[in-house]
Structure 1
Amino acid sequence: MGPHSPCVDIKLSHSSPISKPPVNPHRKRFLTAVYSFTNRQQHQLSPRAPLPYLQNHDNKLLLVHLAEHIEALGQLIHRKDTAMSTHPYSTWRQQGETYYVSGQLPTDPATGTYPEGIRAQTQQALSNLETAVKEFGCGRQDIIKTTVFLRDFADFAQMNEVYAEFFSEPYPARSAFAVAGLIPGADIEIEAIVASGGRS
């Protein structure tokens, strides 16, 4: 490869402690874009200027790490797409600056099962809700309204104690209902409305 080739070459020498990760078309396109941007910034080149060959080892490492993050995100999107192919709903939808998050069950992502007891299930459902909210860059402080569905309203007091520890003032608006049709094994489900500006 010549010193002014616009192509990307991330081959590392045998003496390098970093092994070359598997290459796929998505990584190649991403590396090309990041390589173009970082080198033009570093050398203060115009958008149409030829790119110098990337020699700096640290820059190569940065590109490899960025590609790994992009691939992880791609796998997450693939898993979501796979899930959506069997269930006709979205985990969340956006309208302007407001996000609507579907009900989150107390499923332990590590085991695929529900923990025992309403306290543990409430904590897990809230954790799953926060994970969903983080997908679009928000956090629990941005949740402005929740709806809590309980299998048995006698569990309300214990649920409420865990809920109060999870959120801080000003608390989100909330509705709570006892329902008979929750998925077997689940004692709680929580859905939310989120505003990117947070609660005020």
Structure 2
Amino acid sequence: MSTALFVIDVQNDFTEGGALGVQGGAAVAEGISRLLAAHPDAYDLVIASRDWHDGDNDNGGHFSSEPDFLDSWPPHCVAGTHGAEYHDDLTAHAIDFHVRKGQGQPAYSIYEGVTEEGGTVRDLLDSHGVTDIDVVGLATDYCVRASALDALAHGRRVRVITDLVAGVSAEGSREALAELTRAGADLITSDHVTP
């Protein structure tokens, strides 16, 4: 039995001042780094995802000049740009595996991405015997929600660390957390993480 931490999309474009910045995004980056520093042995694996979209097309309709902010969005997290990089306050050296998702298409869940080595998240978790996953990051009502639901669907025990997530909207975030609870996730705060 081993435990992984999913760090979802803590990128410049999703934090304050970014193309799709959410309120509290920078604080989430700082809080995750504090958690990893305070509990370096709490997780067997730290796996971080990043949106990593193509810059020269609409990414399967994901990018739009007239976005609906549900399925289509303004351009964001274009591969190789500052917006696609991890936020400076996230301790990137603590990440064991980096996952890129949305390469040329819409993607919300970490499970839709591939590792830098070309593998899937599911295979990575299986090969390391991961049974439990804590989820942190951005945004609660989109990519955090989708990643946690996929982890539950793949038979993992999931906890969402509620003080280390931030969402696009307060209402959407509340609804997402309620949905995750109904699906079987536990909601905790970072002071409940132990090695």
Normalising by the smaller structure, the TM-score range is: under 0.3
State TM-score, norm by structure 2: 0.26
State TM-score, norm by structure 1: 0.26
Between Structure 1 and Structure 2, the one with more helix by share is 1
Structure number, greater radius of gyration: 1
